Amino acid sequence: MSLDDLRTGCVIRFRYLWVREAERGETEGRKSRPTAVGVRIARAKRGDVLVLFPITSQPPAPDRFAVEIPEIEKRRAGLEAALRLWIILDEYNQDVVDQSFYLEPMPPLGRFSKAFFLPLMKQFIARRANIRGVNRHL
């Protein structure tokens, strides 16, 4: 995988660490899962930062900020179209591209369309005060 491929909307496999797990003292994601790159923030001297959102087959609680992924978007993103899948947007992992222990050397699975994903990122930004994250680069 070229690290340049990690851009907004692409879907990769990543050992995502849920906020609830981090709060219990866990430091490693339990499994590699499809994860969407929300934002890539360029930083010249310290390495680019990725904001990553988990994708799950578990239906989220009604109070979660989550969106079910439409079939066409699952196909674009390289996900199993027959499964019901959600992107969780009320929590995230943050990692530094060039220094990550968790980014796997695989090409992206696929990419969400801008028409689907950019409105979600705008909602994330609008709600960011109530969103919790885990910094994976310590």
Task: Indicate the number of domains in the chain.
Answer: 1
pLDDT at 98: 82
Mean pLDDT, residues 29-48 taken together:
89
Compute the distance between CA of residue 113 and CA of residue 134 in angstroms, rounded to an integer.
Answer: 26
pLDDT at 23: 93
pLDDT of residue 4 exceeding 80, the answer is: no
pLDDT at 129: 87
Owning domain of residue 41:
3-135
pLDDT at 59: 96
pLDDT category of residue 75 using cuts at 50, 70 and 90: very high
Residue 125 is given by DSSP the state H
Do the bridges between strand 49-56 and strand 66-68 make them parallel or antiparallel, or are there none, so unpaired?
unpaired
60 Cβ neighbours under 8 A, 6+ residues apart? 66, 86, 88
